[in-house]
Amino acid sequence: MIPVKEILLPKTVDEICRLLQNNNGTTKIIAGGTDIIPGFHIDSPRFVNADRLIDINRIDELKEVKVKDNSISIGTAVTFSEIISNPILKDKLPLLAKASKTIGSTQIRNRATIGGNFINNAPCADSVAPLLVYDAEIKIKSYTSEKIIKLQDFLVKPYGTRLKPDEVVTQIAIPVPSEKLKGDFYKLGRRRAVSISRISLAVLLDINDNVIDEVRIASGAVTPIGTRLFDVEKYASGKMYNDNTLREIAIKVGESILKITGVRWSSEYKIPVVQQVCYQLLKKIERG
Amino acid sequence: MELRFTLNNKNVTTMVEPNLRLLDLLRDEFNLTGTKEGCSIGECGACTVIMNGKAVNSCLVLAGQCDGAEIITIEGIEKEGMLHPLQENFLKSGAIQCGFCTPGMIMSAYALLLENPKPTEEEIKDAIAGNLCRCTGYKQIIDAVKKSAEVKR
């Protein structure tokens, strides 16, 4: 059942904020609709009271990708197809471009947006792990306020974020990563296309004179929500970059994930796979 | 709500309920029943149409979101009573069996050829990865798209 009684098509962010004033949760924002509409069909409690939808696809400010002052800004309503075909993002944020390619199908990527992916915050949201390792921040506006917070602080639980009913996410801001940070993204699903992630991992490494200066690791799908593994990062930084260290990091990643999830029926096969994926990703960086 | 958009190159104006999907609008209001409903959740691609030059699942778009949009359906790709090369080649290549996936498959291929007139086999596979066929098999479909790309050149 689609409960919607009204669809609004604002042209500016100010207009969105006005429409969201005093929202008691019955007004929802829609962009691609690829999560909301299937949500309606299963009478998801998140959408069952959505009387009024605000479509944000006609607002230039939310559709732009810009680079300014060493920061990349991506509008919340930029689609995954637009991310994949954007040469700046491909060059500066290759993990995000790679993850975006693995999402859904061409039809889904033509509608689904980067903002929708983390605002919906499904455990399997494929763009979240790359955004986390790139230290993404998000810009949130309401009629009376404007703030910037770290993505990792915004994400609370599966399908839950800190977004209040009167707020809209307008941009994602990512500091242009240092050229020295090398990395990769891997997604494991049950098939190659239109697949839901079972395990995803994003890794960035900065190696200087054979010493790991910095490492950033984030998991998706295998943890309840996309998560930066700071304890492993802390453990690894300053270590010599050699095969032994990579194995240790991979083992720690598995342990760290187990600490978050507890032992599940699937842990027995998922944890060794995560560890192997992590090892292979780190190893691949060495090979270039 | 009132809706104005372009449907198969004609300007149309209609009144729609806000909870109507684009798929329902096309099939029930405009009687364009070439567009099929399969899974209703964006996994099978049977309802694929072109919206502003891009292939989309019409089951995942609300009609109310289409104000000002350009929509092309399977009914809109023939020219003066002549089948589009994709349609011709689907017939010639044996790419149709039950036919349920065909309109969606052709629209995905149509969108691909709009953007990329010389696709590789991998690019064709990628473009139709969101379209399920349960009877013919994909080889004939890929062949039909390849042939059509050659014709268009």
DSSP-derived secondary structure letter, B25: I
> How high is the pLDDT of residue A191?
86
Which residues in A lie closer than 8 A to residue B111 (C-beta atoms)?
Answer: 106
Q: What is the C-alpha to C-alpha distance for residues A159 and A170, in angstroms, rounded to an integer?
A: 19
User: Is it the case that residue B76 has pLDDT exceeding 90?
Assistant: yes
Helix (H, G, I), strand (E, B) or coil at A48: coil
Given CB atoms, is A268 within the 8 Å cutoff of chain B? no
Per mean pLDDT, which range of A191-200, B9-18, B108-117 is the poorest? A191-200
For A255, residues 6+ apart whose C-beta sits below 8 A from its C-beta are none
The count of other CB atoms within 10 Å of the CB of residue A279 is 18
Given CB atoms, is A234 within the 8 Å cutoff of chain B? no
B70-87 average pLDDT score: 96
Compute the CA torsion angle A179, A104, B143, B116 (nearest 10 deg). Answer: -50
Structure tokens at A45: 């409690």
Given CB atoms, is A242 within the 8 Å cutoff of chain B? no
Q: What is the C-alpha to C-alpha distance for residues A83 and A75, in angstroms, rounded to an integer?
A: 10
Structure tokens at A222: 């295998």
Q: Kindly indicate the confidence band of residue A84, based on its pLDDT and cuts at 50, 70 and 90.
A: very high
Residue B124: closest CA among chain A residues belongs to which residue? A106
> How high is the pLDDT of residue A287?
64
Residue A29: closest CA among chain B residues belongs to which residue? B65
User: Is it the case that residue A288 has pLDDT exceeding 70?
Assistant: no
Given CB atoms, is B57 within the 8 Å cutoff of chain A? yes
CATH no. of B85-152: 1.10.150.120
Helix (H, G, I), strand (E, B) or coil at A120: helix
For A68, residues 6+ apart whose C-beta sits below 8 A from its C-beta are none
> How high is the pLDDT of residue B58?
98
Q: What is the C-alpha to C-alpha distance for residues B26 and B33, in angstroms, rounded to an integer?
A: 7
Assigned fold of B2-76: Ubiquitin-like (UB roll) (3.10.20)
Tokens 């009271």 correspond to: A49
User: Is it the case that residue A8 has pLDDT exceeding 90?
Assistant: yes
User: Is it the case that residue A173 has pLDDT exceeding 60?
Assistant: yes
> How high is the pLDDT of residue A192?
82
User: CA-based diameter of chain B, in Å?
Assistant: 44
User: Is it the case that residue B153 has pLDDT exceeding 60?
Assistant: no
Given CB atoms, is A123 within the 8 Å cutoff of chain B? no
CATH no. of A60-175: 3.30.465.10
pTM across the whole model:
0.96
At A257, which amino acid appears?
I
Spatial contact of A204 and A181, defined as CB atoms under 8 Å apart: yes
Spatial contact of A241 and A286, defined as CB atoms under 8 Å apart: yes
> How high is the pLDDT of residue B99?
96
Q: Which residues pair with A139 in a beta bridge?
A: A148, A171
Which residues in A lie closer than 8 A to residue B41 (C-beta atoms)?
Answer: 37-38, 41
User: Is it the case that residue B152 has pLDDT exceeding 90?
Assistant: no
Residue B51: closest CA among chain A residues belongs to which residue? A110
Assign domain A182-287 to its CATH architecture. 2-Layer Sandwich (3.30)
User: Is it the case that residue A27 has pLDDT exceeding 70?
Assistant: yes
User: Is it the case that residue A19 has pLDDT exceeding 90?
Assistant: yes
User: Is it the case that residue B136 has pLDDT exceeding 90?
Assistant: no
Interface mutation vs chain A, best among B15, B17, B19, most A CBs within 10 Å: B19
Given CB atoms, is B54 within the 8 Å cutoff of chain A? yes
Spatial contact of A200 and A186, defined as CB atoms under 8 Å apart: yes
Which residues in A lie closer than 8 A to residue B130 (C-beta atoms)?
Answer: 104-108, 193-194
Given CB atoms, is B78 within the 8 Å cutoff of chain A? no
Helix (H, G, I), strand (E, B) or coil at B8: coil
